[in-house]
Structure 1
Amino acid sequence: MLKVEIFPENERVEIRQTAPKDDKPGRTIYEQIAYAHLGGKFPVEMKVQLEKGQEPYAAGLYTPHSSSFVVNNYGGLELKRFGMVLDTYQ
């Protein structure tokens, strides 16, 4: 089971802006730093996308909720690019 950890210093929302491109307007992106335990000696830093106004996840251990996965065009399982939801790690 994939384990995602959020440390106390990462209990905050980071906001960044994307520039307009072609006919598309710029976007505001809300995210939080987390760390994925992928089996190596150290966890790997990652970003969890948040919705506007969503409270950041509290420090602790989480696992991706089943709604965070999709079956791609080739029949393979993958994490959604946007909209990952975390559940408490058990």
Structure 2
Amino acid sequence: MTALIAMVVVAALVRGKDRPVSNGLFVTALVFCVSIGFRIIDLPLCETVAMGTHFMWHILNAVVLYGLARIYIDSRERAVALAS
């Protein structure tokens, strides 16, 4: 939960300075919320759905990590381009 709060707080703090980073962080936080949702419903659903939803937790967490890395890389590239 701390990571989710951190993403939202940082997104809000950089909103005025770097809109693409802010938007990316908000979207990534939303994906993380869905990921957490799948993790929460996994145990109760395992009794009725053999496969459960745990795999979606892992897939969406991978999407979150990719998104955060992509946001960082893109922001660094924009900073270097502006400095040149």
Higher relative contact order (CA 8 A, sep 6+): 1
Q: Quick check: which one's strand share is greater?
A: 1
With the shorter chain as reference, the TM-score category is under 0.3
Q: Quick check: which one's helix share is greater?
A: 2
TM-score (norm 1): 0.21
Larger gyration radius, structure 1 or structure 2: 2
